[in-house]
Structure 1
Amino acid sequence: MATRSLLLLPGDGIGPEAMAEVDKLIALLNERRGAGFETRTRLVGGAAIDAEGAPVSDETMALAMSCDAVLFGAVGGPKWDGVPYELRPEAGLLRLRKDLALFANLRPAICYPALADASSLKRHLVEGLDILILRELTGGVYFGEPKEIVDLGGGQKRGVDTQVYETYEIERIARAAFEAARTRRNRVTSMEKRNVMKTGVLWNEVVSRVHRDEYPDVALDHMLADAGGMKLVQAPKQFDVIVTDNLFGDMLSDIAAMLTGSLGMLPSASLGSPDETTGKRRAMYEPVHGSAPDIAGQGIANPIAMIASFAMCLRYSFAMVAEADALEASIAHVLESGTRTGDIMVEGASKVGTAEMGDAIAAAFAERLG
């Protein structure tokens, strides 16, 4: 039996509840397909601060570096609002992304037919929506230096965040976008703010050159990021693959999330460069939603984004394409049957909690696995 190693980092808030539903699917794959998944569970975020004194420990990082893939839940909550900035729960997530060199964040925004009426937009605008957003994840304003608050005296302070990009960072995310587009509808839209930002000028130049020299068969459009946000809510189905920087990708993917009916519906994959010897990529998979402390522990959170993130893990880290397809089809089947958590509830549907939704998807998945 092949061994596949997974590090599970449930985190805070609803993270552990959503991760528990993935445990059911891992057990199914080991039982029905002899998948050989071996899992380790560690703390991250606020839970790690409380127990280990840091948002992610060196021991957890060592496990993350050695395993085949990481599944991440969510971090943060008001309990840790007063901790020093460098020890905030989110710092654990940023360290994982940075130390694992996970530069490409893939965030699909898919509107299941059964959820078209749950979107904040009219059905005809979102039914059949299938967008892939590639967000550069390890550069830009989140990591640029200097990053500081300076006391100017006289009651005045200056906050500084630095937006920095180098050519190679833009090249590799551009290539990832063009490669993804070749497997889809063959169109990339690059978004930046070249009208007011020098990094936007460089971004536009580099993406254009990579397109011209390496991917002339793929259609390329350029759009200012603010206009892109407007177009996402005006006519979202015009987009196929969107590639953008860290900050704009963070915002635009959350906008896209609401087109699908709920932030609880969106998965993501964060990928590194292929190893020169083995070809394997370091990877982490996580739902786009946050820790939702207001509903944590109530058993009402939507686990679909976490489950769909595991489907992406099967596809990208383990080449288990048939199983990934089966899991995604199981999600669609359960939604079509009218089973809904509260965030995507509509009149006439059957309202369930986190575990019940997970059970329903696991049952549908088991049928497809045989």
Structure 2
Amino acid sequence: MPKIITLPGDGIGPEVTAAAVAVLREVAPDVITEEHAIGGGAFDTHGDPFPQRTRDALQDADAVLLGTVGGAHDSPWNRLPRHLRPESGLLALRKALGCYANLRPVRVQPGLEHLSPLKPELARGVDILIVRELLGGIYFDGDRRLEGHVAYNTMRYTTPEVERVAKVAFWAAEQRKGRVTSVDKANVLEVSELWRRDVQALRDREYRSIHLNHEYVDSVAMLIVANPSRYDVVVTENLFGDILSDLAAVIPGSLGLMPSASLGDGPGLFEPIHGSAPDIAGQGMANPAAAIQSAGMLLRHGLGRPDAANQVDRAVALALRQHPTRDLGGQADTQTFTQAVLRALETSPAVG
């Protein structure tokens, strides 16, 4: 039986993770879930945002379902040394799993265009997959320092790192519309020159059926909201991908609609991309849609069950139409929305 490690984390993480687990058990009743600690709560309990017992639990996992980590800006956690802060636990988790490719779908469901802040004619039909490199670049490079009035961080990539994430983007494009946009800043950054050169060389060598376009990150930041339908698969490095995927989250209407899958050498990591929202934690107000959709991506990419994943996607779309959450202008709370998804799933038998 598949074993899923759940890491609810901080803030609204436990609430949305519980919703995702309920849906996962409904559509795939054979899975085993085992909960462990990560983030600020893990530091409070174990003195480490990524405790050894959590690391050990990952060894025989088939996939990992994560909630959220971190607290408010004035949280005592933010006054800890950087390596003990909740976010350091998340970075260490990604590295431990070898998750180098982060998939973030940006999709406007038919009939839900009104949820987007964009004009309906711009939002209609948007279906973008952002593939973000997750283990390299400025977030992970050890050449960094803060001393007095001087600080620096270094962005560094190697050809193998670029090629492995580009392969994921090209593979995804083969299942979609066959178009990849590679995002860089090659006009001013040497690391982006390497990125552009290596992505192009890989396409010319192994993926000639894919249409590849190169664009600068500042241009994409404008066009992804001004003309989002121009994009199919977008691949970029860690920092640019972090910013662009959060920017693109405005298109469906809320960060609460943005799931993600992080894939690589070991078990996949599946998580909503919204933050811990400590201001509403424990109030039952959080939108669990992204966490539930992340469970759907777990079924698709982690367990190889596309039919079950499609069930989840359809159920979430129906629940969004009938019971939108408060962040989308509706009245549904976490429990109401989750129950709406479960009722939608009950209309068809669970798929193995």
Question: Distance between the aligned counterparts of 1:25 and 1:234, measured in 2?
Answer: 35
Question: Distance between the aligned counterparts of 1:163 and 1:334, measured in 2?
Answer: 42
Q: 1:60 corresponds to which letter in structure 2?
A: T
Superposition map of 1:90-169 within 5 A: 90-151=87-148, 157-169=149-161
CA offset at residue 118 of structure 1?
A: 2.0
Question: Distance between the aligned counterparts of 1:282 and 1:272, measured in 2?
Answer: 8
Q: 1:354 corresponds to which letter in structure 2?
A: T
Contact 2:11 2:70 in 1 (8 A): yes
Question: Distance between the aligned counterparts of 1:249 and 1:329, measured in 2?
Answer: 27
Name the residue aligned to 1:330.
315
Provide, for residues 291-319 of structure 1, a one-character-per-residue CA deviation record: whole Å limited to 9, x for no partner: 01111111111000000000000001111
Alignment partner for residue 171 of structure 2, among 179, 192, 207? 179
Name the residue aligned to 1:278.
none
Question: Distance between the aligned counterparts of 2:59 and 2:154, measured in 1?
Answer: 28
Provide, for residues 150-203 of structure 1, a one-character-per-residue CA deviation record: whole Å limited to 9, x for no partner: 23xxxxx21111100000000001111001000000000000000111110000
Name the residue aligned to 2:58.
64
Provide, for residues 34-90 of structure 1, a one-character-per-residue CA deviation record: whole Å limited to 9, x for no partner: x42111101110110100001010110111232000000001113222111111100
Contact 1:323 1:369 in 2 (8 A): no
Alignment partner for residue 192 of structure 1, among 177, 184, 187? 184
Alignment partner for residue 11 of structure 2, among 13, 28, 31? 13
Question: Distance between the aligned counterparts of 1:232 and 1:332, measured in 2?
Answer: 23
Name the residue aligned to 2:272.
287
Matched, 1:344 2:336: no
Matched, 1:266 2:246: no
Contact 2:3 2:33 in 1 (8 A): yes
Contact 2:104 2:258 in 1 (8 A): yes
Q: 1:294 corresponds to which letter in structure 2?
A: D
Q: 2:278 corresponds to which letter in structure 1?
A: P
Q: 1:110 corresponds to which letter in structure 2?
A: R
Name the residue aligned to 1:367.
347
Name the residue aligned to 2:333.
353
Q: 2:324 corresponds to which letter in structure 1?
A: R
Matched, 1:26 2:24: yes
Question: Distance between the aligned counterparts of 2:78 and 2:88, measured in 1?
Answer: 13
Provide, for residues 314-347 of structure 1, a one-character-per-residue CA deviation record: whole Å limited to 9, x for no partner: 001111111110110111112232x1110111xx
Unaligned segments of structure 1, at least 5 residues: 152-156, 274-280
Q: 1:101 corresponds to which letter in structure 2?
A: G
Contact 2:138 2:155 in 1 (8 A): yes
Tell me the SS of whatever aligns to 1:319.
coil
CA offset at residue 135 of structure 1?
A: 0.1
Tell me the SS of whatever aligns to 1:340.
coil
Tell me the SS of whatever aligns to 1:203.
helix
Tell me the SS of whatever aligns to 2:348.
helix
Alignment partner for residue 301 of structure 2, among 302, 305, 316? 316
Q: 1:100 corresponds to which letter in structure 2?
A: L
Contact 1:330 1:365 in 2 (8 A): yes
Question: Distance between the aligned counterparts of 1:177 and 1:23, measured in 2?
Answer: 28
Matched, 1:37 2:31: yes
Contact 1:74 1:291 in 2 (8 A): yes
Question: Distance between the aligned counterparts of 1:204 and 1:145, measured in 2?
Answer: 23
Name the residue aligned to 1:52.
46
Structure 1 residues 196 and 65, CA gap change in structure 2 (3 angstroms): farther
Name the residue aligned to 1:89.
86
- Give percent identity, aligned residues only: 42
Tell me the SS of whatever aligns to 1:368.
coil
Contact 1:115 1:344 in 2 (8 A): no
Q: 2:88 corresponds to which letter in structure 1?
A: A
- TM-score, normalised with respect to structure 1: 0.92
Question: Distance between the aligned counterparts of 1:65 and 1:191, measured in 2?
Answer: 34
Q: 1:252 corresponds to which letter in structure 2?
A: L
Contact 2:122 2:227 in 1 (8 A): yes
Tell me the SS of whatever aligns to 1:104.
strand
Question: Distance between the aligned counterparts of 2:303 and 2:97, measured in 1?
Answer: 18
CA offset at residue 258 of structure 1?
A: 0.6
Matched, 1:76 2:56: no
Runs of 4+ more than 3 Å apart = none
Question: Distance between the aligned counterparts of 1:260 and 1:220, measured in 2?
Answer: 25
